Structure formats: structure tokens, C-alpha cells
Chains A and B, each alone.
Chain A
Amino acid sequence: MQLIDALSSALPVIVAALPYVCYGFLALLFLSGIIRMALIARATVALKVHVQSLRSVDYRRFQDSDHVMPVSLVLPGVRETESLKEQVENLLQLDFKQYEVIVVANSANTTAWNSLQQSYSLIPFHQPFKKTLQASEVLAVYRSAKDVRLVVLDVKDTNIAGALNAGVNVSSYPIIAPVYPGFRLTKDALLKMIYAFVSDSACVFMGSFPRIGTATEGEDQKPMPMLAQHQYLERLRLMYTNRSGYQTYGLYLPLSKSFATFLKTALVEAGGFSNRAKSETADLLMRMHAHQRKEKRTYCARLLPDAVCYQLPEKTMRGVCLRLRSGLREMRDTVRHNRSAARLLGGAAYTRLAEHVWPVVEFLGVIVVVASAALSAVPVLFAVFYLLLGILLGGVQSVLATLLEEYAFQRQTDTGLLLGRYVLSILAQIGFRVRMTLVRVFS
């Protein structure tokens, strides 16, 4: 009773203060809009320089070169219950002179195992290897009679880090590239990634920003379902507005399970993949940063902005939310386990701001402005304009990100598809993006 009395006596004061709070949120809305636009502009300049520098040295010369560094692709498929055939097929079709594909699988998952056995005629092979890293126990090594580049390890464990370490132990080449199930690489993916190592001897890591897609370039591009298109557009918006979050690391922490390449010596020095981490790649990268800095070495870890890898889209909204939540959880876990490195690099703070703080501010802003209008603290038109501005600013950012991707990386412009994406970028602001913001707020 007392509380109600106190509230009713404080209400006039709250109502009187609400317009100023609304102005504050409006200022924040403008500020976030300006910052994001500036980041897109910065990303545009950086992309231009990147594309020009790749063109001037013509990295494609390395396609048939003997001087390119060979790569070991490691696919940790120990938890996969579905067929791995399509994914392995994709990995064996890359345009790259010398590489091997090491699939770490569990023969107990019969569908996955049989898909490999039948498609690639696996032969048990007596292969001694150096146990450099602590890894899952390898029960048997198989090689393919159809493709000598394929090596399959049978492990009992379902630990991803252990599987990756087993792959590293068996690998023969100086660059290690973990590829998670559910990803597809473009044909020139390795060439573009490895060029960074060849041109810069200080390079220890190269990350990528996975796009969302069902097929890689060159294959029949079937139109993606609406939900997949939404995921694709959201991914582009993240990439072009959050550059500060990944340029210091070489990896966008909430999307750490993507295609990346490590210099093997640096990977081994940092202790390999850890099974206590929720995101093996991000955790290892943080430890690598810490180790290189501790040793006072000149090194670099970068992110390749090109569309070299595609993540298969989630088929349901629930799946999309789960993926986003698990990405954020993995980021928190990685930062918690590597606090000192995260503090030194700074990118994690920005990512946290972009992934947690801004969504909360946006959400609170909408609640406060709508409540203020309901309490007649501000005119209803103010609330309408506030919401409209939020939608338009978000729409412009998404549209710019889509057009930038089209300008820089698409080799063939399909105007129908682009038109659809343009419209969807705007419509997403009142549907898909609201849902994503809510997931971010309540994750």
C-alpha cells in the first residue's frame, strides 16, 4: 500500500523527467547510427585497399606454384551423425596445389562413417605419427584408395578439441586449417588464405567471416529460403558494422567456429586446442596472442574479408536463435578464460558493446519511449518518429552492407536477387532484427 502511495506521489516527477530520458535515448540512437555508418565507411576504404593490393600482386599466380605453403585441413566430425560425403567432396575440390584433408570421425556414428567408407574406399593404414599435442586416442588410420589426399582417423572420443589435436598430430604440413561441419569453402578459399602466410612471414593466423549460403560459387545457385536470406543479410550487417571487433584478433568472437588457418609451429607452442574451451578456435587464438606477446615476437593475426566460406543456414527460427545464443556464450567463455589477452587486444570490449550493450540500449529506448507516449509524457508522434528512425537507420545500414558486399565480392550481379535482398534488408528491421535484438538482450 505504502509502495503504491509512494509511486503515485512520484509519478508526476517521473512523467516530468521522462521527456529528457527520451531525448537521451534519441541522442543515443543518432550516435549509434552515426558510429555504424562511419564503421561502414571505414570498412569500404579498407576493402578497397585490400582488393587493390591482392590484384596488384596477383595472388592467383600461387595456384600452380611450388612455393605456396602446403595445408592440412582438419575436419572434426566426431559428433556428426549425418553423412559427411558432401562436405569432404567440397574440401577435395579446392583450387590449391598441395593439401591434405584429415577427417577425424567416430566409427560408432555409422551413417557418417559409412558415407566416408563407401564414397572414398577407405583402407586401413599403418601410419606412425608424432604425438605432439594431447589428443583423443586414435584407434585406426585410414587412407582413401580414390584420393591420396584424404586421411581418416577413427577416434572413440567425442571431444572436438581432442579430435582437432589428433588431426594436428597426424598432419604433415606447416599450416593447419580446422573446418567445422556445416561449412562449405569456395574453390579459391585456400589460395586466398594462404597467400597471407606466404607474403608475410610474421603471419600466424588468418581468420574468415563466414557468409550464410547453401551453395558455393560455381554450383547451381538455388534461391535461398526467406529465413536463410534474413540470416545472410544479418551476417553482412554484422561484418561491415563491427570491423573494430575483429580486426585486432583476426576473428569475430561470436562467430568463432568458422574456417581459419593457423601456423602449426605457433599453434603447437600455444598448447594446441583446449577441451575446457567452448570455442576451441577462439580460445587457441587468444592463447596464441598471449604467447606471442609474452615472447615479444613480431607477429600478425588477420581476418580475410573475402567470401571464402559459407555456413549452412539454420532451417528454423529456433535454430537461428540457438546459434546466436551459443555464439554469444562461446564469446563470454573465451573472454573469461583469457582475460588478460582480451584486455590487451581491446576488440572483445567493442564486440561486447556491439553484441550486448547496444541491443540493451535499443530495447530500453523503445520501451521507455513507448511508455512515455502512453503516459502522455511525450506526444505519440514522437514515439512514432523514434520507431521510424530506428527502422530507417537500421535499414540504411543493412542496405549499405548488402551493396558493399555486392560491389566488392560478387562476380555476377543478379538484379532480381539483389532487389529482393534490398527490400528484405528494410523489412527485416521490423521482424527478424527485432527477434535477434531480443535474443541478444536476454541471452
Chain B
Amino acid sequence: MHLQMMMNLMAGLSIVLGALLALGLLLLLLLHLTRAVDNRRVQKMREQLLSLISGAAQSKIMKNHIYEMVNPGGKLDRLSDIKGIRSARGLIVMAETAEELSGAAFEKLQKEAGGEWYGEYIRKLFDGVDEETIALAVKLIGALQLTNYTPDVVTQIYCCRTTAQMQHVGMLTLCMLGAERDIVALCRDHTIASLLSFRTLEEIFSVYNGDLKRLCRKLITSASDPYIRRTCIKTIGEKRYEDLGDLVLPHLIHGHINTRIDAARTLGQIHFDMAHPYILKNAEDARWEMRAVVATALGAFDIATDEETLLQLLCDREWWVRYRAAESLAQTNDPVRMMERAEQTGDRFALEMMRFALERRQLMRGEAV
């Protein structure tokens, strides 16, 4: 009795599994055999079948339809003509396509996505709880510069304040939209702790679509998160905003060690003369990270003036400090004299490092060593 039941169960299951495998095989066979059939309807069916097993194929079909819509003379006119565009994949494909478009084509897509039909879908998503899809919608708003959704983006950041991904995408979108007022308000709000890493913040600020200098000026003194203040300090250095040096200097004098290190680097990058004595003072800092940055920063000023300090740093006990000091000293116009000076220190490691830095410089310039 038991055995018979078992056998029946096994037979039934074997038939089900076998049928499933056979169905899959048939589907693939059909796809393969119809690849060369020159019939529009067959190819359309083939495309649809292919999109069931390949995400990339699905995206490609949608992308082609979007191009047909944005290009003049295309067969499609509206987003509502594209099947499945109101989906997570649709959001992804639209955001990716937006980056490839410009001019009238971009404006057409922007107008369609910002229109009533698609707007209804975006609003429905914002009312929902699926954070992954909301993040995709927020990204699309940034990519298509849909400024009328700025308040919604801010609301989503507040609603998902414990989700790093939403904070990342939300801030990225606000930067893409150049929403200075909202960014400043968010960064000053103590109730929103930044969950983003320092490098992520740097990257987000780099896509800011507005007056970055003004944003840095506003946030360097008022942002509640130290990472954001540090990001402003680094941006000032990288973008060479020389006239903001006086806002950076106090961070070198009073800040946390990591902020002081960033400030020293930035002040060197922008050659802020008023900071020179403070940078020099930090050459004797207990932290090697600070001494290494000072060695680089001094290289940005006049090497001749700081030669003694740099030679002193070249003899530092820490490898990275010696390396940075040697890099700064290697900028000299007289490498022979600099090697002599390094020899005079009597420090074998300093001499080794100096030789390495000079040879590396030659190699980078494409000269044989």
C-alpha cells in the first residue's frame, strides 16, 4: 500500500519535472530556430520570449522603444505606448537612456516622464513601501532633471532616513538637480545622521549641478556632519577655490585630526600663504599622517624656503613621511644638488628615498632611468 503510494508519487513528480524540462527545451528550441525567420510578427514574438529569459534583452527592447519615441519620425509617440515601461526595469532603462540623450530627444523624454501618465506611476511608487523601486524612481528624477519632484525627493530622504542607499540616491539626485536650498537644509539638520562614506559624499558633491563654490561656502561652517565639512574642505582644494582659504584655515588650527589633515592638504593645494606658518608648525605633529600631508603641502609652496624642513621630514622614522618629503623635494630644478643635500643628512634611508623619487619622476616623464 505504502509502496504503491510512493511509486505513484515518484511517477507523478517525475512527469512534472520532465514536463517542465521539456517545456523549457521547447521554448529555447523555438527561440533558436526562429532567429533567422524574416517575419516581423515572428521576430516580435521572439523578442518577447527572449525577454523572459534575459534581463538584458528586456532592457534592449525597452531602450529601442524609447529611442523610437524620442527620435522624430519614430513609430511611437508616448511613453504609454511602451509596454512594461511602468516597472522597475522601465525606471532603470529610462535613467540609463537619459544619460545617452541630449537636445530635443532628452527634452522629449523629460516631458513624457514628467507628464501626467508617468507621473501617476511615480506618485504611486512614492506612496508605497518598496524602497528599492523608490530609489530607482528618485534616480530617474535626477537623470531627467525633473525639478518639480524636488520636494518628493526630500520627503523620501526623510522617510527613509535609516537607509544608506536612499540617502545616497536622494542626495545624488538633489545634487544633479542643483537643489542648493534643500541640500543645505538637509545637511544642517541634526536629526538626519549621514550614513554615507566620505568618498561617497565626495563623489556626490562632484556631480553638483550648480554653484559648487557657494555650496561649499555655506556648508563648511554649518553642516552638522563632520564628513560633509571635510568633503567641502577637500572640494575647495581639488577645485582650487583660492578665495575660500580663510574658511579652511580655522579647521587646520582647531579641528579634529582628520579634518586638520584635510585642511593642511587643501591649503597646500590652493597655496594659501596665510596658512604657511601653521602648516610648518604641524611638521612636528605626533601623528605621521599629518607629517606626511605637511610634506606634500610644503611642496606646493616654495621648496627653497622649506628645504630644511623637508630634509628633516626626509629623515623621518615613518616610511610614508619620507616618501612624501622626497616627492616634494624631487620637484627641484637641480636634482644633483638635492642628492648631495640628501647625502649630507647621513641617513641611508633618506638617501634611498630621494634617489627613488628622482628616478620615478624621470620614469613618469618618459625618460630612461
* A273: min CB distance to chain B, Å: 20
The 8 A CB mask of B133-149 against A (1 = contact, 0 = none) is 10110110000000000
* B231: min CB distance to chain A, Å: 10
A382 at the interface (CB under 8 A from B): yes
Other-chain contact of B139, A19, A58, A385 (Cβ < 8 Å): A58
Residues of chain B within 8 A (CB-CB) of A396 are 17, 20-21
A52:B136 contact, CB within 8 angstroms: yes
A434 at the interface (CB under 8 A from B): no
B198 at the interface (CB under 8 A from A): yes
A57:B172 contact, CB within 8 angstroms: yes
B368:A128 contact, CB within 8 angstroms: no
Which stretch from A74-82, A197-205, A277-285 is at the chain B interface?
Answer: A197-205
Residues of chain A within 8 A (CB-CB) of B104 are none
> With A and B bound together, what is the CA distance between A180 and B202 in angstroms?
33
Within 8 A of A (CB), among B18-38: 18, 20-21, 24-25, 28-29, 31-32, 35
B241 at the interface (CB under 8 A from A): no
> With A and B bound together, what is the CA distance between A28 and B17 in angstroms?
17
* B215: min CB distance to chain A, Å: 17
The 8 A CB mask of A187-199 against B (1 = contact, 0 = none) is 0000000000011
A408 at the interface (CB under 8 A from B): yes
B57 at the interface (CB under 8 A from A): yes
The 8 A CB mask of A383-413 against B (1 = contact, 0 = none) is 0011011001101100100010011101111
Residues of chain B within 8 A (CB-CB) of A51 are 55
> With A and B bound together, what is the CA distance between A415 and B30 in angstroms?
10
Other-chain contact of B18, A26, A392, A418 (Cβ < 8 Å): A392
Other-chain contact of B132, A52, A58, A201 (Cβ < 8 Å): A52
Given contacts A56-B136, A125-B363, A378-B3, contact A198 B352 (CB under 8 A): no
* B191: min CB distance to chain A, Å: 22
Given contacts A200-B197, A201-B198, A393-B17, contact A385 B32 (CB under 8 A): no
A389:B14 contact, CB within 8 angstroms: yes
A57:B165 contact, CB within 8 angstroms: yes
A389:B356 contact, CB within 8 angstroms: no
A68 at the interface (CB under 8 A from B): yes
Given contacts A126-B356, A378-B3, contact A389 B363 (CB under 8 A): no
User: Closest residue to B142 on the A side, CB-wise?
Assistant: A58
B203:A61 contact, CB within 8 angstroms: yes
B53:A52 contact, CB within 8 angstroms: no
B31:A198 contact, CB within 8 angstroms: no
Which stretch from A206-214, A219-227, A311-319, A419-427 is at the chain B interface?
Answer: A419-427
> With A and B bound together, what is the CA distance between A399 and B53 in angstroms?
12
B3:A19 contact, CB within 8 angstroms: yes
Residues of chain B within 8 A (CB-CB) of A58 are 95, 139
B117 at the interface (CB under 8 A from A): no
* B338: min CB distance to chain A, Å: 16
B198:A26 contact, CB within 8 angstroms: no
Given contacts A57-B168, A422-B28, contact A66 B238 (CB under 8 A): yes
A10 at the interface (CB under 8 A from B): no
User: Closest residue to A419 on the B side, CB-wise?
Assistant: B28
User: Closest residue to B203 on the A side, CB-wise?
Assistant: A67
Residues of chain A within 8 A (CB-CB) of B92 are 52, 55-56
Residues of chain A within 8 A (CB-CB) of B202 are 67
User: Closest residue to A201 on the B side, CB-wise?
Assistant: B197
Within 8 A of B (CB), among A120-148: 123, 125-130, 143, 145, 148
A290 at the interface (CB under 8 A from B): no
> With A and B bound together, what is the CA distance between A392 and B15 in angstroms?
10
> With A and B bound together, what is the CA distance between A83 and B108 in angstroms?
54
Within 8 A of B (CB), among A135-194: 143, 145, 148
> With A and B bound together, what is the CA distance between A379 and B7 in angstroms?
9
Given contacts A52-B88, A67-B202, contact A145 B368 (CB under 8 A): yes
A128:B364 contact, CB within 8 angstroms: no
User: Closest residue to A199 on the B side, CB-wise?
Assistant: B200
> With A and B bound together, what is the CA distance between A126 and B355 in angstroms?
8
* A376: min CB distance to chain B, Å: 12
A69 at the interface (CB under 8 A from B): yes
B353 at the interface (CB under 8 A from A): yes
A415:B165 contact, CB within 8 angstroms: no
Within 8 A of A (CB), among B261-320: 319-320
A350 at the interface (CB under 8 A from B): no
Within 8 A of A (CB), among B182-207: 196-200, 202-203, 206-207
Given contacts A65-B206, A125-B363, A410-B54, contact A382 B3 (CB under 8 A): yes
B25:A198 contact, CB within 8 angstroms: no
Residues of chain B within 8 A (CB-CB) of A392 are 13-14, 17-18, 21
Other-chain contact of A413, B54, B138, B206 (Cβ < 8 Å): B54
> With A and B bound together, what is the CA distance between A84 and B122 in angstroms?
52
> With A and B bound together, what is the CA distance between A11 and B169 in angstroms?
70
What are the 6 tightest A-B residue pairs by CB atom distance, in nearest-first order? Answer: A130-B319, A392-B17, A385-B10, A201-B197, A56-B135, A67-B202
Q: A128-B356, A416-B32 are in contact. List 8 more A-B contacts (CB 8 A).
A: A56-B138, A125-B363, A128-B352, A128-B353, A393-B17, A406-B53, A407-B55, A419-B28
Q: Return 24 A-B CB contacts under 8 Å, by A number.
A: A19-B3, A55-B136, A57-B169, A58-B139, A61-B207, A66-B238, A69-B199, A126-B352, A127-B356, A198-B200, A198-B203, A199-B164, A200-B164, A200-B197, A382-B6, A385-B7, A389-B14, A389-B17, A392-B14, A393-B17, A399-B24, A406-B53, A411-B56, A415-B28
